[in-house]
Structures are given as structure tokens and as C-alpha cells.
Amino acid sequence: MEGDLIHKILDYASSRSKFAEARYMDLNVNQVGFRNGEFQGLNFDSERGYAVRVVNRSISMAYSDSNDWTRVKESIDRAIEKSNFDGKNRIYEGDAIKDSWKVRAKKKLEDYSIEDRVTIVRENDSAMGSSGASVRVNSMVDKRINQFYVNSTGSEISGEISRLFYFYLVGVAESGEFEQSTEQFGSSSGFEFIEKLDLQNRIEQDLTDLHQSAEAPRITPGKFDIIVGPEISGIVAHESCGHPTEYDRIIGREGAQAGESFLTGKEFPLKIGSPVVNVVDNPSLGGSFGFYKYDDEGIPSRKRYLYKGGETNEFILNRESAAQLGTASNAGGRSSSWNLEPLARMSTTYIEPGDYKFDDLFDGVRRGVYIKSFTEWNIDDIRFNEKYVGKEAYLITDGDISGRVRRPTIETNTIKFYSSIDAVGNDLEFSAGMCGKGDPEQGVDVWMGGPHMRLRGVYLQ
Amino acid sequence: MSQFDLDKAMNKLKSRGFDEYATELSSSRTEQVRFSRNNKDLYNIWDQSTLVIFASRGKRTVTTSVKDPDRLDSSIELLWGLAGKIPENPSFEGINPETQEGYRVEKLAGIDYDLHDLSQEVVNSSLEAGAERAAGVLYNRTNTIEVRTKYNQCTFTTGGLEVVIRSFKGNNTGQEGRHFGLKEKVDSKKIREIGHQSAEALSLAPGRVDFNPGKYDVLMSPYVIGNLMSYSSSFLSYYSVETGLSCFSESLNKGVSCDSFTLVDDPVDSTGVGYRACDDEATKTGPNVLIENGVLKNYMHSFSTSAHAGTKTTGNAGIISPGAWQLKVLPGAESAPKMISELDEGLLINNCWYTRYQDYRNAIFSTVPRDGVFYVKNGEIQGSVTGIRISDSIPNVLSGITGISRETKNVKWWEEIAASNMPYVLSEKIGITKSF
């Protein structure tokens, strides 16, 4: 099966519905891993199939991996039957678009041998061993996706995507204490991304930090001025801006899973925090892990300001939630596989850089903590009450770093966090993640990032 | 039915020269309805077949999934070529060669449910019980799984009905998430009962109360203990012990909880959707007692990890990394209402999510309570509490258990709670933190 049935599927479905679309997706995924110096085998998966959406009195979708038309038709017939029951049925149709696109890769995934892949992961595992790690887990995943999207308004869009993802977990035991670090890197590109990462040096530095953090003192809980690193700016942008501005959440579509949003029922624009903060979601950022030219509903991607000047600005919309809002989709419709519905999703979400040089952020911080990175984190289902536990962290005394501290914890809420920001750095770094949402849950590839930022008077535990 | 020819696949793997191999063909039909704000969002229909092949040349292991029967031969050729180019996998000790007898295969078949009607019933019962709006999902799955190895083969059918409903009233929420295997059909009375129960938390408290962080006795609902067991069961996998990421690595035959706490992995209970007659290497499954009367009795094993540990496989493969199928905390002697009435000061927590670890080896975590969090004093609910976390460690939660209810529920919810059967559990001196 190579997607041959897609036009037949669309013709059949659109003749029996007010709006119909079909998507064929072919995913080829390779994964290699090492654990504590031992190779853990090779997995390679080849997934392909069709998704069909029909809109009548309600919306239904059918997913089939069969190349037998009779069987595919049976699933479509069932979807059409179910779409004639009452339910929500608004969907943004938009204009017809015909195009094709592909991710640019200098060192193509298909040109890299399995031995090349094994060598990359083995060398990183060895670097962990040489630096005194007691737990070493490394995994590299590469995937090639070919997708063809058609709909009843006349759109026909094909896309070729290549993505790389590297995950490691490393742990050290020091004087009876244990410290761990997990890091994730990803890009929409070829193997040039992994080569540029200089992972071995990153790992060695991470292990040096873990050894020292394991022996560092805890802070005495209280209020501090804090400087957070790009990794924390990124997770905050993702969790307490990106998720609550997904419009399907705001209108309750994820209510029984990841929840609604603290923005549900509010009037907009709503003040969130300091006017120096802008948060962007930008799927059109080339090379980013969440890059796409068209979303999985055939809408052209663009940069979106979610918070601007400290206020809500734009929501993340797919075809369905855009129709609920009465506007056009802004290309937030993403699906991680052929057999999953497209939902309103983030791509690359980041706090926009400001004017401050890194050193200038420390000016005037008499008693503070610099939290460069985080380990445990979580947030409540309306994306308001959040927690970030520092991984690499230092005390600041009279504007200077004065020693490491262990696992300082921010446990606050979205409004307090964004309102505490008084200075935004001029740097910008991204980290990769798998963002989970939907039922069945689907993880989509995202970047999250930002600059260093200074926050005043934050309670740390 | 699937178009894969498993005889052909097995013959091809053998003739190509692989030393060990296992195939697992999963052919499933699933329907789902999602709803929110009392109205249907989407009806989903899945028709899927996947053949997963695990094969080895010596200790060189490869795994692939095949979707297209026409690509079977080329996929096996590709596997063979790749297996010759990769390092050995020291974790792999072979596929269980012991002939399996007495698979607990039950004669189960798909059950026809009208999910559209059931979704309306569950929403209506939530609204009748006081909710302003409801959101949720219903699944009806039938999955026939055929596992074959060089040594054994087993075919069984699993699946069933899953019902999740969350009720909302103002800022308050309540939730139920239940699962029913293919053993018997669920009637609409049961569905209405679930909808009603999801709204019970909405009216339990007169209002919000201020709350100070600290150590509290916590009565955890089946959903909370289900969540914590789901997120910590990997610590009982011998793979995690070997990796150095288990808080139970030195605990075999030692006390980890109170005398009344028994944790079992029970995949042969077909009243739940986690029913499974064999594991990924065709070892027959059966109840595996992990913690018995507070003592850690066994880890979860595949043939490979059991060889490392010098014991027998428990039927929990994942060939390389074993895991749980369907956990049960066995019921105790208490009644849940009585446990509340006897609570001097503490919390009743109905659900939680987003459980994350800052330290896997010591299982230090936090989780965010939701869907009914109540401060209890002198046996009475004083009010609801927001903005808090359980911030503690799994060993502390287990060792602090002092009471287990006789009521249990088959609970399952999204990615947060794997199919399991759980009671109410009271644990003392649990760390509770809050946002500032």
C-alpha cells in the first residue's frame, strides 16, 4: 500500500458528507539504544495507513491500514453512519491549496548506515562511563514521514519530513546521594544536527554538574530573586502559555483528559503578567523539531504571538476549534500518526528574547538563586499551578554566583510567575520534547525555549 | 480479519537462519466517542492489523512492525541484514523455550455497544446528579492477539468497554474512569451509575478552606493509588533493577508496606480490559504476586531477566524489558466511609495526574491532585483544597499505609492510570506541598 486509494477514499467520502478529507501517512522509524554500556537492540518500525474525516450532523473519523478497498469502504461507511447522529459539526474549510514540501536535510537519514547510528550512541554511552555515571541510558530515534493530504475543497498537499530525536538519562551516586539528569534533543533535519550537538562535551559537563549538585546544600525556603535559564523559560512557555492557549482546551474538548484552561470563560485580551514578556509559537522555524510548512490539516503554517506585552493575544487553532471560535485556522492541527485525529498543538514555543545581557541580569540581585535547568516538573489541569525543581542551580549573593544549591523548587502559579519577570535576556536556546495530548494520547515533536530571565521575589522551597 | 500468513512468517524466519524469533499479530477493531460540554465531539473508528517481529542472530536482536502483508518477505530480509551489522545485546538470553501448557484462554468475543447512546446516558446521569457540564470518552475494543515463537503459540481475544466521565460545576470537578472486559456486557444502569458517581465530588464540600503544607494522613481513592501504582510499577520490573533505577533493588523478601498490603499483576482476570493469556514471548500469564502482606516477593520478569536473576520468568515479557499487564491491590477489611469518619486530620483525594520523578532510584516524586480534594478533620469533610501536591517518595507512601478498603474498582484513565483494580488506601504522614 503506497497511498493509492486516497483519491478513491476522498471521492467516496465527500459524496456522502458536507466536508471530507483524507490523509495518508507513511512513517519509517529507527531506534537504537544503549544501557549501562550494553547495546539494547535495534527497533525499526514501518507504519502506514489512511485517516478519513467526514462532517455531517456531527464529525466522525475512520482509520484503516488495509489496502483492500472493500474493507476501507466498510470503515468509511461506518464513519458516515455515525456522522449522521447529532453532535458538534462545525469545521473551518478554508481555501483549496495545492503544494508539496519537504524538510531540508544535508546528511539524509537514509544515507546513514545502522553502524553509523550505533557508533553515535555508543560514543555517548562511553562518555558517560568515563565521567563516572552510575546509570547510563541513551536512545536515538530517527523518522521519515511521507504524507499526502486531500480534502473536498480541492486541497492536495504532499510533505516529506525527516526528524531526529536523542534522549539520555544519566545518574550519579555521590556520598550516598543520587542525582539524575534527562536531556532531549531534536530537529527536523538530517544527521548534521547530531554532529553539531557536540553531545559528548554536553554529557561530560552535565555529569560534572550532577556530581557537584549531589553534594550541594539545600536552600532555606523563602523569597528570592531568581534568574532562570533558557530550559526553564522554555518549559514555562510550553506549559503555562502554550497549553492554556490551545483553543480546544479552552472550550473543554480535552476536559476529561489533560483538562481545560485557566483561560476558560475569561474575556480577552487578559493580562497574564509583566509587559516585557512575549510568548511565540512558530511552526515555520526551519530546522526546529516541530517544523512544518503545512499542518496535518493542510493549513499553511505561520508564527503566532500567544502572549504579547504580557497579555493573551492569539490562540492555537486547528480546523475544528477555529470554527468554534468563528475564525480561520492558524495551522495548529497536528497528528503524530496516521491513526490519530489532528488536534490544536504547539510546535516551537518560546519566550521572545529581550535586551538584557546575561551578566546584567545579575545586577541588583542581593540574595538570589540562579536556576539554570530543571528536573521534576508538573502543572495542574488548567495550567495554572505549576512546579519546577532545579537541577543545576547556584546561590547569588550581591550579584555574584556564590556556590551550588541542590534542587531548589519553584511552586507557584502562572500569573505570579509571569508577573514576577522584570528582565528578559537577549539570548535564545531551545530544547526538544514530546508533547502529550489527546485520547488516545499522541506525542508530537516540539521545541521549547527562551532566554535567561530575572524574576523578583519568588518563593523557593 | 488480518491478511498476514503467520505460518509463512515463521517459516521465513526459520529458513532465513534466525536463531530465535517471536511474532505477535494484533488485529483490532475499536470504536470511540469523545464528548465535551455535554455534546459529542467526534466518533472514531479504527480497523488495524500489525505484525511485530522480534528476531535474533546469536545475541544480536532486532524488532520491527509490519503493516503490509506484501512487505513481509522484504521486511524479514531487511531484519536479517541489519542483525548482521549491529552489536550483541547482552540483555538478551533467548526466548522462553519451555513448552507452555494450560494457557488461560477464555472464549471471548467483541460486544456490540451503541456508544452514541451510552455517551448520552452517562452525560445525562452526570447532569441529573448536579453537574453543570460533562466531558469524557467511551471506547469499545476487540483485539485478537496471536503470539508465536519457535517453541509455543497462543491466541486470545481481549478488549472491552472503557468509560471516562468528568463532571464540572463551577470550579469543582469529579471524575470516574472504569473498564470492563469482554466477559460480560455492561448494562445501561451501570453506565448511569458511573455518570452519577462522577458528580458526587461536586457537592461533598461546603466551600474552599485554607490549607498549610506539611505531613498529613491521606485517604487515596482507587484512582490515586491506581495512578501511583501505574507510575511506579516499572520499579518492580527487573529491567529497572538491573539499570539501577529502582527503589526496590535491595528489597526482595523485605518489608516495603504494611501486613495488609498485597500487590498482584493479574492479566488473566477477564473482567478487565488488561486481560492477556500470554506475554510477548508466548509464556503463559498468571497472577504474579509482587508484594504479599507487605513483603516484596517477586519482580516482573521475562525469560531474559529471569536468567540474569537466577529465577523463573513471570510472564511479563517485553522480551528485553518486562512490564505490568493489569495490577491489583487486593481489598482490605475497612470500609471507605468509615476510614473517612475515623480520620482525625488529613486529606481525601479522589484523583491525581502529572506524576513526575526527580529521583528514580529513590522514587521521589510529586503528583497533582484533582477531581475532589478535601480537608478532613475529626472525621468530617471541612472543605475543598486547591493548589496542592503530594510530594513524597513511593517507599514512604507504601510504608505509611495503615488501612485498605474492601471496596475496589476497575480503574483506567487515559495515560494516567493503566487498567487495574484498586481499593481506597490510607497512608500516614504524607508530604503535601502547595503553591506560593
Q: What pLDDT score does B3 carry? A: 78
Q: What pLDDT score does B206 carry? A: 83
DSSP symbols for B326-378 = SEEEPP-SB-HHHHHHT-SEEEEEEEEEEEEEEETTTTEEEEEEEEEEEEEET
- The widest CA-to-CA distance across chain B, in whole angstroms, is 72
Q: What pLDDT score does B368 carry? A: 98
- Please judge whether A375 and B39 are an interchain contact, meaning their C-beta atoms are less than 8 angstroms apart: no
Q: What pLDDT score does B2 carry? A: 62
- Print burial letters for A312-329: b (CB count within 10 Å at least 16), e (below 16): bbbbbbbbbbbbbeeeeb
Task: Retrieve residue B56's grid coordinates.
Answer: 535474533
Residue B219's closest CA among B78, B313, B355, B332? B332
Task: Retrieve residue A460's grid coordinates.
Answer: 523557593
Please name the CATH architecture into which domain A6-214 falls: 2-Layer Sandwich (3.30)
ipTM surpasses cut 0.85: yes
Q: Which of A224, A381, A441 has the most B C-beta neighbours within 10 Å, making it the best mutation to test the interface with B? A: A381
Domain boundaries, chain B: 6-120+137-162, 204-230+331-434
CATH code linked to domain B6-120+137-162: 3.30.2290.10
- Within 158-187 of B, beta carbons closer than 8 Å to A belong to 164-166, 168, 175
Give pLDDT < 70 ranges for chain B.
1-2
- Print burial letters for B8-20: b (CB count within 10 Å at least 16), e (below 16): ebbebbeebebeb
* A284–chain B Cβ distance below 8 A for any pair: no
- Please judge whether B89 and A85 are an interchain contact, meaning their C-beta atoms are less than 8 angstroms apart: no
One-letter amino acid for residue B122 of the chain: V
Render each residue's pLDDT in chain A as its tens digit; 461 residues: 467 899 999 999 999 999 999 999 999 999 999 999 999 999 999 889 999 999 999 999 999 999 899 999 999 999 999 999 999 999 999 999 999 999 999 999 999 999 999 999 999 999 999 999 999 999 999 999 999 999 999 999 999 999 999 999 999 998 899 999 999 999 999 999 999 999 999 999 999 999 999 999 999 999 999 999 999 999 999 999 999 999 999 999 999 999 999 999 999 999 999 999 999 999 999 999 999 999 999 999 999 999 999 999 999 999 999 999 999 999 999 999 999 999 999 999 999 999 999 999 999 999 999 999 999 999 999 999 999 999 999 999 999 999 999 999 999 999 999 999 999 999 999 999 999 999 999 999 999 999 999 999 999 99
Q: What pLDDT score does A175 carry? A: 86
With a CB cutoff of 8 Å and minimum separation 6, the contacts of A304 are: A280, A281, A282, A314, A316, A330
Eight-state DSSP code of residue A366: S
Per residue in B49-61, pLDDT tens? Answer: 999 999 999 999 9
* B137–chain A Cβ distance below 8 A for any pair: yes
The rounded distance, in Å, linking the Cα atoms of B370 and B359 is: 23
Q: How far is CA B32 from CA A223, A374, A439, B111, B162, in A?
A: 48, 37, 9, 14, 9
- Within 360-389 of B, beta carbons closer than 8 Å to A belong to 360-362, 364-368, 370, 386-387, 389
The neighbouring-strand residues paired with B265 are: B288, B327
Q: Which of B34, B47, B386 sits opposite A71 (nearest CB)?
A: B47
The rounded distance, in Å, linking the Cα atoms of B139 and B377 is: 39
Domain boundaries, chain A: 6-214, 222-460
Task: Retrieve residue A350's grid coordinates.
Answer: 518560546
Can you give the pTM of this predicted structure?
A: 0.97
With a CB cutoff of 8 Å and minimum separation 6, the contacts of B380 are: none
3-state DSSP assignment of residue B202: helix
The rounded distance, in Å, linking the Cα atoms of B108 and A340 is: 27
Q: Which of A45, A85, A378 sits opposite B64 (nearest CB)?
A: A45
- Within 102-131 of B, beta carbons closer than 8 Å to A belong to 116
B369: nearest CA partner in chain A? A380
Residue A435 host element (H or E):
strand A429-437
B47: nearest CA partner in chain A? A64
A320: nearest CA partner in chain B? B41
